[in-house]
Amino acid sequence: MIGTRIRELRNARRMSLSEVAEQASISTATLSRIETGKQNIDVELMTLIARVLHLSPHDLLDADEDGDGVLADKIATLNADSRARFWRDLNGSRKRNQIQKKKVEDLSLEVEELLAQIDFLRGEVDRIRQSLAVRRAPRRVTR
């Protein structure tokens, strides 16, 4: 259910019912009923709540496998402008997620490169220490 998913994601972001409800311009009671499945949610409100939670509408749907047909029906009943806005928001959030994933991958590669450079420098410092230790060691006089 979408309501359960909303509650999970709201709790994961450590946001209270009243915070999310206020930002979505709905009552706390309404949000509570949505989260407990006692009230249906329309696509426009779902999109708004997703924005408040800094998510895409798709993120709210990921865990909901049974309600896809119902949701598709609701999307189909939207007027053309609302439907276009919904799909644009969904597509934009996917692109943002891809960009963030790419940034994490790039950062991971940079960290690996830095660690390799640190290992190289550590080896160089050890080599120099050994060279200095050999120079400082007392030499034996051979006769």
Indicate whether 94 belongs to any domain.
no
Indicate whether 32 belongs to any domain.
yes
Indicate whether 113 belongs to any domain.
no
- Domains of the chain: total: 1
The residue segments making up the domain with residue 51 are 2-87
Indicate whether 29 belongs to any domain.
yes
Indicate whether 43 belongs to any domain.
yes
pLDDT at 92: 78
The predicted-structure confidence for 113-130, as pLDDT tens digits, reads as follows: 888 899 899 999 999 999
Indicate whether 111 belongs to any domain.
no
The predicted-structure confidence for 16-59, as pLDDT tens digits, reads as follows: 999 999 999 999 999 999 999 899 888 889 989 999 998 888 87
Indicate whether 36 belongs to any domain.
yes
Indicate whether 126 belongs to any domain.
no
What's the mean pLDDT when you consider all of the chain?
A: 82
pLDDT at 135: 82
**Percentage above 70 pLDDT, the chain:** 87
SS3 per residue for the chain: CHHHHHHHHHHHCCCCHHHHHHHHCCCHHHHHHHHCCCCCCCHHHHHHHHHHCCCCHHHHHCCCCCCHHHHHHHHHHCCHHHHHHHHHHHHHHHHHHHHHHHHHHHHHHHHHHHHHHHHHHHHHHHHHHHHHHHHHCCCCCCC
CATH code, 56: 1.10.260.40
pLDDT at 26: 94
